Amino acid sequence: MTTRIGIAGITGRMGQLLTEEIAAAGATLAGGTSRTNPDLAALAATCDVVIDFTNAATAQANARIMVDSRKAWVLGTSGLSAADEAAVQAAAQSIPVVYASNFSAGVNLVLALAERMGAALPADAYDAEIVEMHHRQKVDAPSGTAVGMGRAVAKGRGVKLDDVMESGRHGHTGARKTGAIGFAALRGGQVVGEHSLIFAAGSEHIVLTHRAFDRRTFATGAVRAALWAVSQPPRLYSMMDVLGMA
């Protein structure tokens, strides 16, 4: 019997790509939710795992529904608040949850490198700045992937991102704080996603960049995560776990 996968938000751009990737992987599409048919509980009852690329506003409610369903949950929604992430972490005590800011294999390799670079390049000598650009319709900033980069650098440096994050500088901000991790968010056109991590020292600059040209890479990774998650015990996983890099 093939894995039955449901899609929360099946009528969106990602939903359509997920539908194609589920078929390509030889899995079964169990159905999906949409604005006109938002019943996630009914969907979860018919499948083994749900892939969720909906909206941050639904994260806490979806977490409760998925716990009640006892099915695996693959969550790719960005812009989650601290309370939203707490709800996701709580859900992972009862069900397997794969929560990732980005499901691209390439991005996750970049995140692994970002952590190592953060550890190797001293914060008092190398300023870390993250620049991202997305399509004009994106509603959250900085992007989930940019925040993921920042968290990776912060982890490498042994600090919490919330304590060193500087985002959206404007006006007379004063000199840059030593150890800060800066963010700049650009929006325009139909850019799928571009992220650059810059380490700037007095004598050199090191730039780590990832560019996505097709959203399908996210769909392919999410389906891979779904097929992996159904056989895992309850826990909060990342795409690093799926790729065997954790």
Q: For 99-128, b where at least 16 C-beta lie within 10 A, e where not — what string?
A: bbbbbbbebbebbeebbebbeebebeebbb
**CA distance linking residue 238 with residue 233, whole number of Å:** 14
Cα–Cα distance for residue pair 125/178, rounded to 1 Å: 8
Q: Name the catalytic one among 138, 170, 172, 195.
A: 138
71 as an active site residue: the answer is no
Among the options 71, 134, 195, 210, which is catalytic? 134
Is 177 an annotated catalytic residue? no
Distance CA 174, CA 154 (A): 22
User: What six digits make up the tokens of 71?
Assistant: 């099915």
Which residues form the catalytic set?
Answer: 134, 138
